[in-house]
C-alpha cells in the first residue's frame, strides 16, 4: 500500500487538509486513516470518520515514542484487514519526524509498504514565530518533507508568502511547495511526488531534537447534553488569553441548540464551523503547559445549556 504521512505542528491544519483530500477521493479508491492524538480522547478520528475511509485512532500518547509498538501493530492490522490502496497517517503535532520515519522505514513493515511520502503542513500566519522559537525542530520537518504545504495563506500578503517560500527553499531544495487556505488548493492528480519505499533507511544525518518542543500537558473530556455556543466562545476566548495556563492548542466538537459545531484555537485565533452530521458525544482537548485542569473542567461544565 502507499503511505502518506500528514505531518505538522499543533494547529497547522493537518486534519482540515486531510478532510479535503478525502473529499477528492474517487469511489474506487480504498483508503484508511491512522490518527494519533496527544489527548486521552480523540476528535480528529470523529471528524474524519464518515468520509469514505476506514479510520483507526491511536490516542493518549505520541506516535513516535510511547506508541512505537502500537504503531507497527496497527499498520500490520490495517494492511491485512482493510487492504487499502492508500494509508494516511496523521501524527500528533508534537511528534518528532525522525523517530516516526525510522519506525515506518523499519524492516518489520517492509512487506506492507510500497511507497512512502511525507507532507509537512506549515501555518503561514505563525511561521516566523514558530521558526524563531523552535528553529531546529521546524527545519527538520521541512528538510524531510516531500511536499511542503504552506497553509493559512489567507493570513499573509503575497510579499510575506514569498519570503516564507524562500526560507523553505533554503532548507529543502527538492520538495514541492503548495500554498493553501483552509487546507484547500492541493489537487492529488497534479502532484504525484511519490517516494519509493526503502526499508531501514539511515536518518543519522538528520539533526532533530530528541525531545518534544515542550513538556506538554493535556486536558480532555467528553460530555452529553447541549452546549451554549455563546458560553463556548467565551471559554475558548479565555483559553486563548491563557487564563488557565499556557495553551498552545484547543479544539472540540459540540452539540448546540443549532446543531453540531467544531471550535478550534490555533495560532492565537479561535475559529468555528458548522458540522454536517451528528456525533456520539461532545468533546474538548486542551494542550499546553501549566494547565489548571480542574478549573478548565469546571468552566467546560458551565457551558452546558
User: Which tens digits make up the pLDDT trace of 206-255?
Assistant: 444 444 456 788 899 999 999 999 999 999 999 999 999 999 999 999 99
Together in a domain, 124 and 182: yes
Measured in degrees and rounded to the nearest 5, phi and psi for residue 215 equal -85, 80
Together in a domain, 137 and 257: no
Together in a domain, 186 and 144: yes
Indicate whether 113 pLDDT > 60.
yes
Does 206 map to a domain? Answer: no
Indicate whether 189 pLDDT > 50.
no
Together in a domain, 77 and 170: yes
Does 207 map to a domain? Answer: no
Together in a domain, 97 and 185: yes
Together in a domain, 175 and 136: yes
305 bridge partner residues: none
Does 252 map to a domain? Answer: yes
Q: Residue 275: is it exposed, middle or buried by C-beta count within 10 angstroms (0-12/13-18/19+)?
A: middle
Domains contained in the chain, number: 2
Together in a domain, 149 and 65: yes
pTM, rounded to two decimals: 0.81
Together in a domain, 20 and 111: yes
Q: Provide the residue range defining the domain that includes 17.
A: 2-190
Does 11 map to a domain? Answer: yes
**Tens digit of each residue's pLDDT (9 = 90 or more) over 19-29:** 888 888 888 88
Does 168 map to a domain? Answer: yes
Does 210 map to a domain? Answer: no
Together in a domain, 180 and 225: no
**pLDDT confidence of residue 11:** 85
**pLDDT confidence of residue 60:** 59
Amino acid at each position: 500500500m502507499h503511505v502518506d504521512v500528514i505531518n505538522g505542528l499543533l494547529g497547522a491544519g493537518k486534519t482540515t487538509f486531510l478532510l479535503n483530500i478525502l473529499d477528492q477521493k474517487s469511489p474506487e479508491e480504498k483508503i484508511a486513516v491512522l490518527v494519533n492524538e496527544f489527548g486521552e480522547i480523540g476528535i480528529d478520528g470523529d471528524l474524519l470518520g464518515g468520509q469514505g475511509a476506514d479510520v483507526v485512532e491511536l490516542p493518549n500518547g505520541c506516535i513516535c515514542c510511547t506508541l512505537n509498538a502500537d504503531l507497527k501493530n496497527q499498520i500490520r492490522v490495517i494492511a491485512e484487514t482493510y487492504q487499502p490502496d492508500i494509508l494516511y497517517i496523521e501524527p500528533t503535532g508534537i511528534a518528532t519526524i525522525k523517530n516516526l520515519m525510522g519506525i515506518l522505514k523499519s524492516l518489520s513493515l517492509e512487506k506492507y509498504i510500497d511507497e512512502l511520502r511525507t507532507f509537512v503542513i506549515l501555518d503561514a500566519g505563525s511561521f516566523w514565530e514558530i521558526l524563531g522559537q523552535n528553529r531546529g525542530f521546524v527545519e527538520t520537518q521541512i528538510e524531510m518533507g516531500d511536499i511542503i504545504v504552506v497553509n493559512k495563506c489567507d493570513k499573509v500578503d503575497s510579499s510575506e508568502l514569498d519570503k516564507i517560500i524562500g526560507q523553505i527553499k533554503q532548507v529543502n531544495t527538492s520538495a514541492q511547495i503548495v500554498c493553501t487556505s483552509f487546507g484547500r488548493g492541493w489537487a492529488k492528480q497534479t502532484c504525484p511526488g511519490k517516494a519509493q519505499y526503502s526499508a531501514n533507511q539511515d536518518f543519522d544525518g538528520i539533526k532533530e531534537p530528541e525531545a518534544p518542543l515542550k513538556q506538554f500537558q493535556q486536558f480532555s473530556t467528553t460530555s452529553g447534553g447541549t452546549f451554549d455556543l455563546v458560553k463556548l466562545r467565551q471559554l475558548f476566548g479565555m483559553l486563548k488569553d491563557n487564563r488557565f495556563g499556557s495553551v498552545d492548542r484547543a479544539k472540540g466538537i459540540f452539540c448546540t441548540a443549532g446543531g453540531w459545531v467544531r471550535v478550534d484555537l490555533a495560532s492565537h485565533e479561535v475559529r468555528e464551523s458548522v458540522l454536517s452530521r451528528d456525533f456520539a458525544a461532545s468533546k474538548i482537548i486542551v494542550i499546553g503547559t501549566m494547565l489548571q485542569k480542574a478549573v478548565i473542567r469546571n468552566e467546560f461544565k458551565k457551558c452546558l445549556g
